[in-house]
Amino acid sequence: MERPNSEERDQIDQPPAPREDEGTSEPGSSPEGFQSDEWWRASAPESDWAQPVADAGNAEAEQPKQDRTANVYFCGRTNLFPLNLAIRAIGKENLTGLLRACWDKEPVDVLARDGEIVLATTRDPDLYCPETPDLIQGVDVVMVDRARNQQKEDGTPFLLTLARTESIDRQAALDLMRHQGQLLFSQLWSASNVWIMFEKNTELLGGYGDVIGDPDVDDWSLETLRLVQNPDQPKAFDPGSIPSYTREGYDRVQKLKLTSDEAQFGSQFNGARSVQQIAKNLRLDLKSARQLLFRFVALEIIECWPGSTMAKPEAKAGMGRLFGRGK
């Protein structure tokens, strides 16, 4: 007997039952603004925090071939899933675990605990700290080599290892470790097509209870952006382009610890002035203007529109004052 046409249509229109491995894509489990394309639901790679990692290409190629047990919260390429979105997700969702960024060098690992950034590191000590810091001058060479080998094995910063063995001053080591981690992460802002993945795993933070995290992820990101060496990206830095705040950008910028230069620069965004006009108003050279603009664009606080776009009328109040928490 043939089924009625209505029954066939019901079966065709009925969506397939969700698979167990797609639990993280259910509504409410992912941060606001995350996309739901196929790259979003990539298979979850197992934790390899304590294992050496090859180049980014090999790491990505091996993922589908292994049994996946780790709880991957999100993953994707930065051309579709920006770094800023990943860092903000950590703070917004109070995540604990590991954010791994794979590029053309040794992967960069960012450890997070309860929505705070604990540290950024890598298993390559030379990439982590290219120059020998003054802090370890005079320290036993054997102790330094052991600490560096430890970092090669599991990613623990050699500065932290030396501090724990009382080879160097602890507070000075923690301050330098924070700076070196941010300097390391800053290189990712200019890197192209980085593959990132966040694994929710509280066990990874078990050995870092003595390290205090940074509570504000936006401020942490801004500090790394100030360390970017070559922020020029032609598509975003046309002198004739017009910067304008995003829907949430103006509210977010009020909470940032801005420098006086950043606050003055940000107060000029009104949807009518071009980058060139802003630089002229503040007596800045275009190179400095590009560097400042890069930070706001990377944080997705503003968007840059072509200069040919019809200018909007300037706001009469609220845009000309200094804002942010100051620094």
Shared domain check, 163 and 57: yes
Shared domain check, 88 and 206: yes
Establish if 74 belongs to a structural domain.
yes
Res. 248: pLDDT tops 80: yes
Shared domain check, 100 and 50: yes
- Each residue's pLDDT tens digit, 279-294: 999 999 988 999 999 9
- pLDDT grade for 195, boundaries at 50, 70 and 90: very high
- pLDDT grade for 307, boundaries at 50, 70 and 90: confident
Establish if 77 belongs to a structural domain.
yes
Taking alpha carbons only, the member of 293, 91, 100, 67 closest to residue 194 is 100
Model's pTM, two decimal places? 0.74
Q: In which element (H, E) is residue 120 found?
A: strand 116-121
Establish if 256 belongs to a structural domain.
yes
Shared domain check, 58 and 189: yes
- Each residue's pLDDT tens digit, 31-41: 444 444 444 44
SS3 291: helix
Shared domain check, 208 and 245: no
Shared domain check, 173 and 238: no
- Are 205 and 111 contacting, i.e. CB atoms less than 8 angstroms apart? yes
Establish if 43 belongs to a structural domain.
yes
Number of structural domains in the chain: 2
Mean pLDDT of the chain: 80
Establish if 11 belongs to a structural domain.
no
Establish if 228 belongs to a structural domain.
no
The answer to which of 40-54, 132-146, 197-211 has the lowest mean pLDDT is 40-54
Establish if 75 belongs to a structural domain.
yes
Shared domain check, 238 and 202: no
Mean pLDDT of 289-312: 84
**Sheet containing strand 71-77, strands side by side:** 71-77, 195-200, 97-102, 108-113, 116-121
Shared domain check, 185 and 95: yes
CA distance 45 to 55: 15
pLDDT of residue 326: 57
Shared domain check, 203 and 248: no
- Each residue's pLDDT tens digit, 9-48: 444 444 444 444 444 444 444 444 444 444 444 444 444 5
Shared domain check, 271 and 203: no
CA distance 162 to 169: 9
Res. 313: pLDDT tops 70: no
Indicate the length of the chain as a whole number: 327
Q: Where does the chain have alpha helices with state H?
A: 5-13, 56-62, 83-92, 125-128, 141-154, 158-164, 170-186, 217-225, 249-253, 260-266, 275-281, 286-298
SS3 34: coil
CA distance 249 to 243: 12
CA geometry: angle 63, 66, 67, nearest 5 deg: 125
Shared domain check, 182 and 54: yes
132 lies in which domain range? 36-215
